[in-house]
Amino acid sequence: MKSSIVITLHGVAPDNKSIDGQDTGAAKYTIARSTFIEIASLIKNNQNCTIEEFVDNPSGTYSILTFDDGLISDYEEAFPVLLDKGLKATFFVTTENIGKSGYMNRSQINEMASHGMEIASHGLQHRYLVDLPESDARRELADSKENLQQLMGRSVTSFAPVGGHYLPWMIGFANDSGYRAFATMIPGRTFCCHTGSPLVIRRNHVQSHHQLSYISSLINGDKYLLTKNRIRYTLLTIPKLLLGMDAYDRIKRNLIGESH
C-alpha cells in the first residue's frame, strides 16, 4: 500500500508583488515566494517525489507538489527554491502557451526536466474539456502529450484536465494515449492502487488566501480537513456538471461579483 498528499499550486510571486496570469483565476491562486518557501520547508525530502515516481514507487507515504499552467514563475520562483531544498515537483504545462509572455519557454522546461522535475500535460489551450466536442477533447489529451514529448525528447506520463473537470471516458482515453496518472482536483489523500490505470490522483488546492496553518494541515493529511474539503468539492461539482463550466462561471460571477 502506498499513499500521497498532492498539493496543487499555480503562480509564485516575489513578495508583495502579484502576477497577472492569462489563465482564469491565475492571480487568485498566486502565492508569495515567502509562503512557498514555508511550504517547501514542510515537505520531508525522504517523502517527496513527482507523480511519475509515485506511480512507480511500490510503497510508502509521499508528499507531492504540483504546479498548473506552466507559468514563468514555475521557473523563476519555484524551481530555485525546490533546488535549494532538494525537492522535486510535477509541472502541468499548457503546451500552446509555451514561450508566450508570462509562461515558461522550451529551454526553461528542459532545464527543469534535467534536474528531475516532472513536466506533464495540462492540455493544449487551457480549455475546459467537459465543454468541448469529444474530438477536440481527445486532441487536448493526445496532442499535448505528443508536443511535450517532442519538445523534451522524453516521455510524458501525467495529465491534469483544466479546473480538474473531466468525464469518465477521458480516463480511459488517457490510458489509451499512454498516460499513467490522471490528476484531478478532488481533494483528499491518494491511495494506490485500487483505481486501475491510469492512477487517478486527488489534489489539494492551495490558493492565495490560505493561511500557512491550513496548508500545513493539508500537507500533514489532516483527515477532518480533507473530508470537509471533499464534501465541499462534491457539492460544488453538481451544479458545474448540470450547467456546464462556462455557464457556471458566468452565474458565479454575476452572483458574487467574482472576477474572471
What is the DSSP secondary-structure string of 92-151? EE-GGGTTSTTB--HHHHHHHHHTTPEEEE--SS---GGGS-HHHHHHHHHHHHHHHHHH
Do 183 and 159 meet the contact criterion of CB atoms below 8 Å apart?
A: yes
Q: C-beta of 127: minimal distance to Zn ion in Å?
A: 10
Is residue 140 a contact residue for Zn ion (CB under 5 A)?
Answer: no
State the number of binding residues for Zn ion (CB under 5 A).
Answer: 3
Q: Is the Cβ of residue 69 or residue 74 nearer to Zn ion in the bound state?
A: 69
Which CB atom, from 52 or from 69, has the smaller least distance to Zn ion?
Answer: 69
Residues in 33-72 that interact with Zn ion by CB under 5 A: 68-69
Among 82-90, 105-113, 154-162, 177-185, the segment contacting Zn ion (CB under 5 A): 154-162
Residues pairing with 3 in the sheet: 61, 191
**Interface mask (CB under 5 A) for Zn ion, residues 107-126, using x and -?**
--------------------
Which ranges of the chain would DSSP assign to H, the alpha helix?
26-29, 33-42, 51-56, 72-73, 79-85, 106-114, 134-152, 168-176, 212-219, 223-243, 245-256
In the complex with Zn ion, the residue whose CB is nearer, 33 or 122, is: 122
Choices 52-60, 98-106, 156-164, 187-195; region in contact with Zn ion by CB under 5 A: 156-164
Minimum CB separation of residue 23 from Zn ion in Å reads 5
Q: How far is the CB of 170 from Zn ion (least distance, A)?
A: 16
Quick one: which of 75, 98, 79, 72 has its CA closest to 150? 98
- Of 82-90, 144-152, 155-163, 231-239, the window that binds Zn ion (rule: CB under 5 A) is 155-163
Cβ distance 67 to 78 under 8 Å? Answer: yes
Residue 126 CB, nearest approach to Zn ion (Å): 6
- 89 vs 162 by CB, closer to Zn ion: 162
Residue where the block lists cell 490510458: 175
Instruction: Convert residues 160-189 into a mask of x (bound to Zn ion by CB under 5 A) and - (unbound).
Output: --x---------------------------
How is residue 71 annotated by DSSP? Answer: B
Beta pairing class for 90-93 and 60-69: parallel
Chain position whose Cβ is nearest to Zn ion: 68
CA dihedral 105, 107, 112, 118 (to 10 degrees): 70
C-alpha 146/C-alpha 64 separation (Å) is 24
> Footprint of Zn ion on this chain (CB under 5 A)?
68-69, 162
